[in-house]
Amino acid sequence: MGYSESYPNKEPATPFLNLDQLSALRAVFTEEVTSFKDGMTTLQNALRLFQEYMIGAGKEDAQRQIQDYMHVLNQQMKYVEFFSEVGGAALPTHEILSSALTECREMLHANFAYQVKTVELEPGREVAYYEKAVDYLQQCPDSQVCKTKLAQAHVHMAKLANDDTTAAIEHYVAAIGYDKTLAEVYEKLGQLFQQGGEYSKEASIAKQC
């Protein structure tokens, strides 16, 4: 869309890392569970992700604890499979794990929503940063806090559009769609329309906001 960087580059290694990790965990718990083995596999996959996230200085104790959990879970699965085979009985149904899986899903959903609402947008970042923020913030569409931050993200992207007037207008119009109290945005839109010499389709959209 013709963007160029007009702010100093202050890119950290991984923006929104917590949200990335929570998204990966949520994906694990959205997998269909139709058997006891499926449920155990879901828990194992979640623990593996936790183990990956615990790599780094000061996280050794947490990593060892997760390894212990994984060992216990693996042993539990082996015991159940062994005694089911020896006794000629079927494996337990997945319902036995449904309460734990549901609790994990609900906890992750609540934590994810909280983390999204507490996102603090950094000024002076690249467009990709704000686009990623928008992707996450849009997942809490009923939150006024998220709407305000969505407007801020679009304002940042409009400023990064530089000579791409169409892109700037699109982002300013999107910002007004989330927050109609932004006087600065109306002023910027007026300037852009004036520079263009006539009101475009975007101008009529802005008027309706």
Residue 161 sits at φ, ψ, to 5 deg, of -70, -25
Distance CA 36, CA 79 (A): 13
Residue 179 φ/ψ region, left for φ over 0, alpha for ψ in the -120 to 50 degree band, beta for the rest:
beta
Q: Is the pTM of this model over 0.85?
A: no
User: What pLDDT, on the 0 to 100 scale, is given for residue 198?
Assistant: 47
Distance CA 169, CA 2 (A): 13
**What's the residue count for the chain?**
209
* Across 31-40, 63-72, 105-114, 144-153, least confident range: 63-72
Confidence of residue 19 (pLDDT cuts 50, 70, 90): very high
User: What pLDDT, on the 0 to 100 scale, is given for residue 155?
Assistant: 97
Report domain extents, the chain: 17-117, 127-208
Q: Does domain 127-208 have CATH number 1.25.40?
A: yes
Q: Token pair for residue 148?
A: 């305000």
Of 10 and 101, the one with more pLDDT: 101
* Across 47-51, 55-59, 80-84, 117-121, least confident range: 55-59
